[in-house]
Every structure is written in structure tokens, then in C-alpha cells.
Structure 1
Amino acid sequence: MFCIAFTNRRLNQVKRTSYAQSSQILQICRKMREIMVNHASSCDLKDFVAKFIPEFIGKEIEKAITGGKVKILKAPKFDLGKLMEVDGDYSEDVGVKLDRPAEETVAEGEATEVVGA
């Protein structure tokens, strides 16, 4: 089997040529090979040739390879009231104060030794 792919010009493109990047070429070849191997291994030769006549495999490859861009047109609105409803009511203090042991506290009158100074 042999397959060849061409790049299309973009809408309102001024430049005469339109080339794909090498990483895009590798992805396109990989996807084309994957689709052709799947079709060739799933049916016999007679059915496989019948798929070529109406350009079934070519259209499937074109549909799989065509890349689309996703663009966010408008950011969602931020509602503080709904956020607080979901977050819950935490107005009461649930923390417990811990007592420190006396040995960990440093007396104010003692000098501390600095290592490496």
C-alpha cells in the first residue's frame, strides 16, 4: 500500500507555500499507517479494494488527521455566593489550642549559639 498526503492552505493565507512541521509529518504518517493497517487486517482483499473505490479509507484518514483548535471565547462568571454555598458554613472555630512543653521554649535571657558563624 502507498499513501501520500498534502497540506492545505489556510484561510486568507498570503504565502504561496504551506509546509507541515517534521513533528506533524511524523504524526500524520503514524496515523495514516495505523488506519491502513487496521482496514487491511480486518477484511479480505476483495472487500479492501472495494473500500478504495468510494475513497472510504482516504476520507477516514483525512477526518482523523485534520487538526482543530480549541479557543475559549468567554471566561465563566465567578459568583462568590455560589462558591460559599458549596464551601459550607465555617463561622465557628473548630481548632483546639495546644500547650507547648516548657523545654522547647527558649528563655529570653539565654544567649543562643549560632553554628557556622
Structure 2
Amino acid sequence: DKTQDIFRKFKLQVEDVQGRHCLTNFHGMDLTHDKLCGMVLKWQSTIEAHVDVKTTDGYTLRFFVIAFTKKQEDQKSHAYAQTTRIKKLRAEIVEVVQREVARCDLKSVVQKLIPDSIGQDAMNEASSIFPLSGALVRKVKVLKKPKLDLGRILELHSEGKADEFGEGVPRPDHYEPPVVDAV
């Protein structure tokens, strides 16, 4: 279902303009405020971790990951984790993110962020320490990027088909846009 994945906001930065086409590059990712507020519940621990990772093509990214504990079968009231377990969970999440991102270039990192496979891997591996109800990459920032290489950006954009443009919007006959007094 596509409606479940509409809470991720990707930021793109225009690197170059060629005629009427803007060549963009990944600049960051964030979750919507509604999704974050909907995930935070009472009677559970929240684990937040952040880590700086360098990709194979020279980008330095800062990942923010958020995870939540869940009740075990025999628990009745709450699912709080002890501080030592929270520290172990945080260390495991950081290790998973470093391992998954450090061996990839930026394009494959973005491909992993779209379905949030990094968060799923972190949740699966950290669940052996304490049961987790979910783990998501909450935010990604680009801290450093290599010098602008136009060939690499063109390579990113040339992989799509040339006829992959948006669909035209039908306009009424004799359509004239309104005149604007000031800009």
C-alpha cells in the first residue's frame, strides 16, 4: 500500500541547470511531524541514536535513528528498558547503520532509505537485546559532500529514460495565465 510510505520527506538540491532541466542531488531526508508524534506512546522506552558515516563516494552523512520498545508476552503494564540495555541497543543500532552505509555510494543509500531497510535491519538485530516495536531512520543530513563533479551528476540523471517526463495537464482552449502586477 503506497499510503503507508508518505511520511518520508526527501530534500533535493539543484546542482546544475541545463536549459529547462534542473539536475538535483540528495540533500537530506526527514519524517513528517505527524508520523513522529504518532509513534511516540506512553509506557514504552524511546531509543534515539545518531551516527556520522562516510559513503564510498565521499559524502559524509549524519543519520538519526529512533526506536521503541514493546511489551513481552508476560508483561502487563509497561515496556521500559533498563539504561544498560538502552545503551546496548543504541550501540547496536549505530553499528548496523555504519555497516550498511559505509560500503555504499550515495545513490544506493537513497535506495535503502526509500523502503527504510536500514531501520528494519537495525530493529531485527537489536531485538535480541530487548524487543522493539519499530525502528526508523528519523532524519538524514548531508554534512560534507565532494567537489561538484558534473559528470557524476549527469550519470545519475541519465539512467532514467528520456521520455520519463510528467504527464501534460489538459488546459481549456485559449488559456491565458493571469497577469501578475508584482513579483
TM-score, length-scaled by structure 2: 0.34
| 2:35 is equivalent to residue 10 of structure 1 | no
CA distance in 2, matches of 1:58, 1:14: 27
Aligned to 1:65: 126
CA distance in 2, matches of 1:12, 1:32: 26
CA distance in 2, matches of 1:14, 1:27: 24
| 2:100 is equivalent to residue 39 of structure 1 | yes
Q: Tell me by how many angstroms 1:12 deviates.
A: 4.8
Greater helix share, structure number = 1
Q: Tell me by how many angstroms 1:37 deviates.
A: 1.1
Which structure has the greater CA radius of gyration? 1
Q: How many residues align?
A: 67
CA distance in 2, matches of 1:8, 1:22: 15
TM-score, length-scaled by structure 1: 0.52
Question: Superposition pairs for residues 1-117 of structure 1, below 5 Å?
Answer: 1-15=63-77, 17-67=78-128
- Percent sequence identity over matched residues? 31
Kindly indicate whether structure 1 or structure 2 has the higher relative contact order, using CA contacts under 8 Å at least 6 residues apart.
Answer: 2
Q: Which runs of 4+ in 1 moved over 6 A?
A: none
Deviations along 1:55-93, one digit per CA (max 9) or x if unpaired, are 21111111111127xxxxxxxxxxxxxxxxxxxxxxxxx
CA distance in 1, matches of 2:126, 2:98: 16
Greater strand share, structure number = 2
CA distance in 2, matches of 1:18, 1:57: 24
CA distance in 1, matches of 2:97, 2:70: 22
CA distance in 1, matches of 2:74, 2:100: 36
